[in-house]
Amino acid sequence: MSLLKSAEDIAGMREAGRLAAEVLEFIAPHVRSGISTEELDRLCHHYMVDVQNVIPAPLNYRGFPKSICTSVNHVVCHGIPSPKKSLKNGDIINIDITVIHRGYHGDTSQMFLIGDCSVLARKICKVSQECLYRGIAQVRPGAHLGDIGHAIQTYAEAQNFSVVRDYCGHGIGKVFHEDPQVLHYGKPGTGMRLEAGMIFTIEPMINAGTYHTRVLPDQWTVVTRDHQLSAQWEHTILVTENGYEVLTPRADEHLDLIKAYIPTS
């Protein structure tokens, strides 16, 4: 399978990405203290299926039982929405959205802070978003996947955080997860060389303590081994002829901030 997408593929991915971002914009006002993660799932499912006329990609994917992932506090990723898990003041939550529109996948996620969060919670959410932006800024033809991972790792560790090793970004298109694997740590100048037409996610998972994780008995929910906070942001990225295009931009997002991290050489 070629890693390079056709013009038709890119147009389809651009639309799928826009719709995925739209789900996050829709759910944002509902993410508040007292709401259950299952209710967030119900609202998103209704919006995707009945309003957007798209397919929630996670639902029944390898047995996953819900339409979105909701990862709260020390949950790193793949948190299963539950009626027993209601948000409370001080929580942080990642909501991960993937839609399928006309066969193409749009994949994105965002952190939300509930009420009066701790200094650490606010910092890890901010740093994880900056890690995403620093990774995106490396994307251009001729760059290497290792450049992305190195930019993320060096910044996260300079802030006394760690980068999860067990999960990574991935190629995406008509298939949910495909090559290449996009590690969020690494050395510059190593790994696959990027070419215009590639599409993949960058989704760094940043932990307050150790980068080690474990999977709960439900076989999906990934948590930090030391029970410390974790945060993650995600975008789907197209490699263009002279840089990158974010395919999952939200209206409330200041993507111009990425430009500050673009290498000058």
Percentage, residues of the chain above pLDDT 70: 99
pLDDT of residue 264: 80
pLDDT of residue 87: 98
* Averaged confidence pLDDT in the chain: 97
Q: In the chain, where are the structural domains located?
A: 7-261
Q: State mean pLDDT over 100-121.
A: 98
Q: For the structural domain made of 7-261, what CATH number should be given? A: 3.90.230.10
Span 131-144, pLDDT tens digits: 999 999 999 999 99
Q: State mean pLDDT over 3-23.
A: 98
**Cα 173 → chain centroid:** 15
Backbone angles phi, psi at 150, to 5 degrees: -65, -45
Q: State mean pLDDT over 81-88.
A: 97
Show the 3-state SS of the chain: CCCCCCHHHHHHHHHHHHHHHHHHHHHHHHCCCCCEHHHHHHHHHHHHHHHHCCEECCCCHHHCCCCCEEEECCEEECCCCCCCCECCCCCEEEEEEEEEECCEEEEEEEEEECCCCCHHHHHHHHHHHHHHHHHHCCCCCCCEHHHHHHHHHHHHHHCCCEECCCCCEEECCCCCCEEEEECCCCCCCCCCECCCCCEEEECCEEECCCCCEEECCCCCCEEECCCCCEEECEEEEEECCCCEEECCCCCCCCHHHHHHHCCCC
Confidence of residue 227 (pLDDT cuts 50, 70, 90): very high
Span 147-173, pLDDT tens digits: 999 999 999 999 999 999 999 999 999
Span 235-251, pLDDT tens digits: 999 999 999 999 999 99
pLDDT of residue 1: 58
Confidence of residue 85 (pLDDT cuts 50, 70, 90): very high
Span 17-70, pLDDT tens digits: 999 999 999 999 999 999 999 999 999 999 999 999 999 999 999 999 999 999
Tokens read off for 37: 């993660």
Span 177-214, pLDDT tens digits: 999 999 999 999 999 999 999 999 999 999 999 999 99
- d(CA 90, CA 99) in angstroms, rounded, equals 29
pLDDT of residue 2: 78
